[in-house]
Structure 1
C-alpha cells in the first residue's frame, strides 16, 4: 500500500491600511496572484486567506476609489505569513472601474532604466548563487567579466566606481567583500539574500535622494520581520554557510538578523586559485511601529575579510596573479536609522547613518617577507562617513512633491609606503588625514494626468563640499533631471529622461600625497555625466513585456592618471586600490547604445527574460585628443535566462550569456624588463601609446540550476544544484609577460639592468558546480 503525504497548506494573513491616514481599511479585496484565492478585509483592515500551498506569491489589493496595489513577492514556506499592505486613494479613477495592476511596474521619476528584481529571480537565478551583483549582470546594459571570480558592475559602458547602493534608504559604501577601494567590485556579495524583499536597479534616471552616482543606483528593499511567527533559516550556499532569523519582539517591533561564515577559501584551494578569501558578515533590521503615524527602522551591516595568497598554487598559470596581488584585510560596517512620520498627505523622513571601511594591503617582492627591503606596498586606509538626510514628500491630487537636504562628514586617513616606477624608481611614504564636510539640496515634482496616460517628473540636485575651491559652490554642481512618459495605447508607452549627474573623485585620489608629503590633487573637480535615454514599452495581459531603450552618456571632468594617461573610469576591476596617484580632471568620455528586453511572466510557472545590448564606450584624455576605446567597450551583450516551476516543487532554470571581446593594451616589453621597474610593482607595464588597440575574442557560457523543495508540517527543506559554465568555455587572453628573476646583464649599471622575460599563456574558464541546502523552521 502506498502512503501519500499531503503537502501542508498555510494561511496568508495581514492588514491593509491607507498609506496617508494610516487607518485600517475594510472591504478591500485581496487576491493571491496566480491562484483563485482571496479574501476581503474586515472592519479592522484584517484579512486571512486560508489553504494556500507553499510557494512565492504576490498579493493584489484593490477597491473602488483606491489605486490597485500589487505587492512585492513573498515566500510562504513552513508557517503562516503575515503581510502589511498600504494603498492610496485614487482621486482620478472613474467610478465603478477597478484596474488590474501589472507585475511589470513603472516609476514616474524613472520611467526608463529601472528594473525591479523580485524573490523568484533572487532565489533561483541560474549561475548567480543568490548574489545580487551577478543577478543584475543578466539585465540589459550590464556587462560581466568572462574571467570570473569577480562581480564588478559595468553598466552602460561605465566603470565599476560609478555605482551607488542603498539598503532601505540608507547608503552603504559597497556591496562586496574584498572590495576594491575607490571602486565597488569583489568576488562575493556582502548582503545576505535571505533578508531581501526586492531590488530596484536604476541604470538611468536616478532618484533625487541619491547622489554620487554616474552609472547605476541599486536600492535593496529588506523584508520586515513576520509579526505573526518567529522563524529560523539555515543555508549552505556556494561560498558560505548562513543562519538567519526573523519574527517579532513585541506587538509593535519586528526583527531580521543573519550571520554568515565563508568557506570560499576551501573552494578556491580545491580549484587551485592563487588567492584564498575568508569572510564573515552579519546584518540586522529592527522595525518599530511607534504608533499609527510614526515608525523607526534601525539596521546594520558588517563584514570582516581576509585574503591570503595561495603560494602552494605557484604553477605557471598563477604566477602572474601571485606576483602582484597583495594580501588584503578589510573590515566594513554600516549602521543606520530611518524615522518616518506620516501626517496625512505629508510624510517626513529622517535618515542617519555611519559607514566605516578599514582597508589594509601588503605586498612583498616575490612574496618573500623575510627581508624588509622586499616590501613593495604597505597601505593602511580608513574611510568613515557620517550622513544625515531630511526629506518631506507631499501629495496633492495629481501632484507629488519631494524636497530634502543632506549633510555628511567624511574622515579619511591613509598611511602608505609604495614603490612605483614612472620614468625612474620612486618611493611614496606618507600619512594623510582629511576631514570633509559635504552638503546638498534636492527636490522633485511628479505629475500624473487625470486619465493617467501622461506622467512627468522634474527634479534638481545641488551638491558641494569644503575640500577644494572647485567643489565649494552648490551652483557649480547643479544636477537637473526630467522624465516623461505617455501611454500611446492601452499596451504601448513611450518614455524618456534626461539628467546631469555628479560624483566625487575617490578619497584615495583626494588624499594622495607625493614624495614631498604634499597633497597634489587639490585641483580635482566633481566628475559629471549628462545622460539621455528614450524608449518604447509594449505590455500585453500583464504577462508579456517588450522594451526598446536607447541611451547616450557624455562624461566630463573625469580624473585621469598623469603617469599613464588613463582615466579612473577605465580602472577598478582588479583587487587593491584605485586612485592613489597623481590625477588631473581633464578626461572626457561617451557611451551610447540601444537595449532590447523581452520578458514573459506566468505567475507560479514561468519567468523568462532575454536581452541584447549594442553599445560603444570610449574616452579621451582632454578636449584636444581623439576618442579611443574604453576598457568596457565590449560592443555587445546577450543574455537569455528562464526559470520554470514543475510539479512536486521542482524547478529548473538556465541562462546563456554572451559578451563581445574587451579591448586590451599590449605590454611595454622594454620598460617591463628593467629590474627597477619590475621590482617596483612585480607585474608588467602596458604600452599606453597603444592603449586598447587589441581586442579579445567573444565569450559565451551557459549555466543550469535545479531546485527541489520539501515542505513538511512545520519546516521547509530545499536543495539546489547550480552548474556555472557547463560548457567549460575558456576565454583566450593575451599571453602574460613575466620576469624569470634572472638578470640578463648583471655587469650593467643598476638603472640599466634587465631581467630575462618569459610569456605565460592565459586561458580562463572552468565548470563550477555548487550544491546548496536550505532549511527553515
Structure 2
C-alpha cells in the first residue's frame, strides 16, 4: 500500500513539474431559444482574451474556438436582434473538448429603441415556458456539491423547498409532498424510477442509474410547472442527455460511488456529423464490501450495473434522429446471516429479504423543422421495469422460519408522443403536444396472514390500460421585461374513464433591471401506482377475489406560488417564494381511518390497502429563501431555507401531519477552487444541513409482544418526530492536466461529525424489544476519473 501511495505522489508531482502550456477546444452551436433553429453569423468571443480571440458561427450555427488555455474560461455570444448571452466558468481540460451550446432570446423592443439590458439570471430554467418554481442546474454541480456523489436527485436536495428523507436513498420531498409525486423525463421520454434497488411505483433508490457524465444542463421544478408536464403533483426533473462529440473520439474511465465506469463517444466517420455516446458501470459497493468498508447493509452485498447509449443521426431532408437506451439491474440479499444483528435502514431484525430490480428503456426521436419558425418532435419509446422480492421471518430461540411475502411484479409501457412548437414573432410562441401510452401490468404477489395461518393472494393480474394526454401552452412577451404564460393539460385514463382538464398560468415582471416578481398557478393530477389499481380483495364468503381499487380516480392538487428575486450583483442573487397547495381527491380507507395515499412513499414499498375512495384532502404551505453566490473568482456559496407545514385528513376527518412534515430545513454549501502551478487545480467543498426530524408511527409494544410481531399504534400516526437532523459533508478534489489526458482525484467525507439521527424504529420478536435504526454514519467515498 505504501508503494502504491509513493507511486501516485510521484505521478502527480512529475505531472505538475513538467507542465506545459496545454490548450483545448471549445465548440458548440448558437441557437434561437424558442425555435432551436441555428443562428449563422453569431459572434462568439473568448472572455478576457488579449488579443481578442473570437469566431463567427457557420451556416449550421456551429462555432469552434481552438487553442484555448486550460482552466476556467468564458465566452460571450452576440447576434443582431437578439439579447447577448454569456457562458462563464467553463472548465477547459486537456482530456476532453468543451461543447457549449448557446440559446439566444430574440429582443421584443424595436431595434431603433434604446434599451437597458438586465443582468441575466444564471439559474433560469432552460424551458422558456417556466416562469416560477423552476431552475436550471449545471451537471458539474452534481459532483461539486459535497454529498451529491454524482446524483442529480441528491444534488437538488440542496435547493429551497426540497428535503431528503433517507441518507441511504435519494427519495426527495418537495414542499411536503410524497416522493412518488415526482415526474422523471429524460430526453423528452417519461421514465419510471431510474434508481437501482427501487421499488415499483416509487421514485427513489440508493444508487442512481442516471449517469451524470452523459448529461447536459437540465431543469428542475418544485411547483406550478408548465402544461407539458402531467401525471405528477409534486415536482419534475427534465433531464437532457448531451450528444456525443461529432468531431473527435474521446474516452472516460471512472471509479466512484456510482460504479466502475468505462465510456466512449465520437463521430461515426470523419465526413459525418452523426455521433455516438455510450457508457457502462458496475457496482462499486460490492468492491467496497470486499475490501472491508461497510455499505450500510450489514453483511449483504449490493450488486448493480447499468448501460446508457445515445446515437445522433442528422439528415438533410428528414431532420435529426436520436436513439436512446438505458439498461439497469440490481440485486441484494439482506438478513440471510441470522447471526448478523447489525441494524440498517433496509431491513428489520428477524427478517431475511431478497430483492432485485430492473429497468429497460429505449426511445427513438425525430426533430423536424418545417421552416425557421416551426418544429415537430416525434418520440417513440418502450420501457419495462420490475421487482422480484422474497421476505422470510425468523426467530433464533426457539429456531423458527416462516415464509412471509413473495412478489414478482413488472410493468411495461409503449408510448408515442408529438410536440409541435411554433414562434409567431419575437413576442408570441405556442406549443401543443400529445401522448398515447399503452400500459401493461404483470403482477403476482402474496402475503402470509398469521391470524388465518395461510397465504393470501394480493395480486395475480395480467392487465392493460391506455392513458391519453394532450396539452397546449402559449407565451406572450409584452416587453423584454414582462412575460405571461397560459396553458392547459388534458389527462385521460381508460381504467376508470376519467378525464381531467388542468389549466396552468404564470406571469413574470422585471420591474427593475435587477428585480423580478412572478406568480404561478397550476392544477395537477396523478395516477395511483399500478399495484393499487390491481390489488385484489379476498372475498372468503363467496370464495373469489375482487379488485376494489380499479375505479379509483386521480389524486389532484392546485398550486399557487408567489416569487421575488433580486440580483444583488452579477454573481449574487436573493430569491424568495411562498406557496399554497390544495390537495384533494386523495384515496383514503374507511377500514383504516388514519390512512391516506398522501403518505405513500414514506416506506420502501407501496402500501397494501384495498377498498380505497377518493375522499381525502391535504394542504401544504410555506416560505422559502435562497441566497446564492455563483462560482466566480474561485468560490461559491449557497444558503437555502424552507419553513413549511404539511397536513392531511383521512376517513376520521382529523387533520394530521403528513409523513413528510419535518417543518423546516436549512442548507449551507460553499466551495473554493485554486490553481496549483499552471495545469492543476484543487477544490474544497462543504455542505451542512439542519432540519426537523422524521415523522413516524409509534410501535405498540404491548400488542407487538402479544402477537410476537410488529404492531403499530395508528391512532398516533405522524403526531411526533424523531430528533432534529444534522449532517456535515466535505469534499476534496484534485485535477491534473497532461498533454492529452486529464485526471481527477476526489474524496467525499459524508457525515464527518458522525451525528446519529434516528431513521426508524423496529420490533425484535426474539428480544421483544424496540430498537432504533439510524441514518448513515461516517462514510468516505473516493472518486478517480480519467479522460482522454
**Fold shared by both chains (TM-score > 0.5):** yes
Question: Which of residues 316, 324, 329 is equivalent to 1:299?
Answer: 324
Task: Give the Cα separation in 2 of the matches to 1:619 and 1:424.
Answer: 35
Which residue number in structure 1 is paired with residue 566 of structure 2? 538
SS of the equivalent of 1:689 reads helix
CA RMSD for the aligned pairs?
2.8
Which residue number in structure 1 is paired with residue 160 of structure 2? 140
Task: Give the Cα separation in 1 of the matches to 2:545 and 2:88.
Answer: 53
Which residue number in structure 2 is paired with residue 252 of structure 1? 273
Measure how far apart 1:738 and its partner are.
Answer: 1.9
Which residue number in structure 1 is paired with residue 541 of structure 2? none
Task: Give the Cα separation in 1 of the matches to 2:380 and 2:363.
Answer: 6
Question: Which of residues 53, 60, 64 is equivalent to 2:69?
Answer: 53
**Structure 1 residues 680-730: Cα deviation after superposition (integer angstroms, max 9, x where no partner):** xxxx12111111222211111111101101110111111001100111111
**Structure 1 residues 287-341: Cα deviation after superposition (integer angstroms, max 9, x where no partner):** 1111287111110111011111154484444286243463111121111122111
Measure how far apart 1:46 and its partner are.
Answer: 5.1
Measure how far apart 1:273 and its partner are.
Answer: 2.6
1:294-373 aligned at under 5 Å gives the runs 294-312=319-337, 314-318=339-343, 321-324=348-351, 326-342=353-369, 343-366=371-394
Task: Give the Cα separation in 1 of the matches to 2:627 and 2:317.
Answer: 42
Residue 586 of structure 2 is aligned to residue 558 of structure 1? yes
Q: Is the 8 A contact 1:526 1:557 kept in 2?
A: yes
Residue 297 of structure 2 is aligned to residue 273 of structure 1? yes
Shift in alpha-carbon separation, 1:188–1:639, aligned structure 2, 3 A: same
Shift in alpha-carbon separation, 1:179–1:103, aligned structure 2, 3 A: same
Residue 682 of structure 2 is aligned to residue 650 of structure 1? yes
Which residue number in structure 1 is paired with residue 653 of structure 2? 625
Task: Give the Cα separation in 1 of the matches to 2:508 and 2:493.
Answer: 35
Measure how far apart 1:579 and its partner are.
Answer: 4.9
Q: Is the 8 A contact 1:225 1:255 kept in 2?
A: yes
Task: Give the Cα separation in 1 of the matches to 2:751 and 2:191.
Answer: 31
Q: Is the 8 A contact 2:142 2:150 kept in 1?
A: yes
Task: Give the Cα separation in 2 of the matches to 1:59 and 1:580.
Answer: 57
Measure how far apart 1:265 and its partner are.
Answer: 3.3
Which residue number in structure 2 is paired with residue 775 of structure 1? 786
Residue 414 of structure 2 is aligned to residue 414 of structure 1? no
**Structure 1 residues 141-198: Cα deviation after superposition (integer angstroms, max 9, x where no partner):** 11113x5211111111001111010111111111211112221111111111110112
Measure how far apart 1:426 and its partner are.
Answer: 6.6
Shift in alpha-carbon separation, 1:214–1:57, aligned structure 2, 3 A: farther
**Structure 1 residues 609-665: Cα deviation after superposition (integer angstroms, max 9, x where no partner):** 11000001111114x712111111101010011222111211111101111112222
Measure how far apart 1:503 and its partner are.
Answer: 0.3
Residue 235 of structure 2 is aligned to residue 216 of structure 1? yes
Shift in alpha-carbon separation, 1:602–1:184, aligned structure 2, 3 A: closer
Question: Which of residues 697, 705, 710 is equivalent to 1:665?
Answer: 697
Residue 82 of structure 2 is aligned to residue 66 of structure 1? yes
1:697-776 aligned at under 5 Å gives the runs 697-732=723-758, 736-740=762-766, 757-776=768-787
**Structure 1 residues 314-372: Cα deviation after superposition (integer angstroms, max 9, x where no partner):** 4444286243463111121111122111122111111111121121111122299xx99
Shift in alpha-carbon separation, 1:659–1:313, aligned structure 2, 3 A: farther
Shift in alpha-carbon separation, 1:571–1:24, aligned structure 2, 3 A: closer
Measure how far apart 1:543 and its partner are.
Answer: 0.8
Measure how far apart 1:387 and its partner are.
Answer: 1.1
Shift in alpha-carbon separation, 1:643–1:88, aligned structure 2, 3 A: same
TM-score between the two structures when normalised by the length of structure 1: 0.90
Measure how far apart 1:563 and its partner are.
Answer: 5.1
Task: Give the Cα separation in 2 of the matches to 1:314 and 1:572.
Answer: 31
Give 5+ residue unaligned stretches, structure 1: 679-683, 741-755
Question: Which of residues 405, 419, 440 is equivalent to 1:377?
Answer: 405
Task: Give the Cα separation in 1 of the matches to 2:419 and 2:693.
Answer: 44
Which residue number in structure 2 is paired with residue 161 of structure 1? 180
Task: Give the Cα separation in 2 of the matches to 1:201 and 1:511.
Answer: 32
Q: Is the 8 A contact 2:458 2:535 kept in 1?
A: no
Q: Is the 8 A contact 1:350 1:389 kept in 2?
A: yes
Which residue number in structure 1 is paired with residue 132 of structure 2? 112
Measure how far apart 1:430 and its partner are.
Answer: 4.2
Task: Give the Cα separation in 1 of the matches to 2:454 and 2:357.
Answer: 29
Give 5+ residue unaligned stretches, structure 2: 1-13, 539-543
Shift in alpha-carbon separation, 1:671–1:7, aligned structure 2, 3 A: farther
Question: Which of residues 493, 516, 526 is equivalent to 1:503?
Answer: 526
Q: Is the 8 A contact 1:39 1:47 kept in 2?
A: no
Which residue number in structure 1 is paired with residue 109 of structure 2? 92
Which residue number in structure 2 is paired with residue 517 of structure 1? 545
Residue 15 of structure 2 is aligned to residue 29 of structure 1? no
Task: Give the Cα separation in 2 of the matches to 1:645 and 1:406.
Answer: 45
Question: Which of residues 216, 222, 225 is equivalent to 1:203?
Answer: 222
Q: Is the 8 A contact 2:761 2:773 kept in 1?
A: yes
The number of equivalent residue pairs is 745
Task: Give the Cα separation in 2 of the matches to 1:24 and 1:158.
Answer: 42
Structure 1 range deviating more: 715-724 or 107-116: 107-116
Which residue number in structure 1 is paired with residue 432 of structure 2? 403
Which residue number in structure 2 is paired with residue 461 of structure 1? 489
Measure how far apart 1:484 and its partner are.
Answer: 0.8
Q: Is the 8 A contact 1:636 1:659 kept in 2?
A: yes
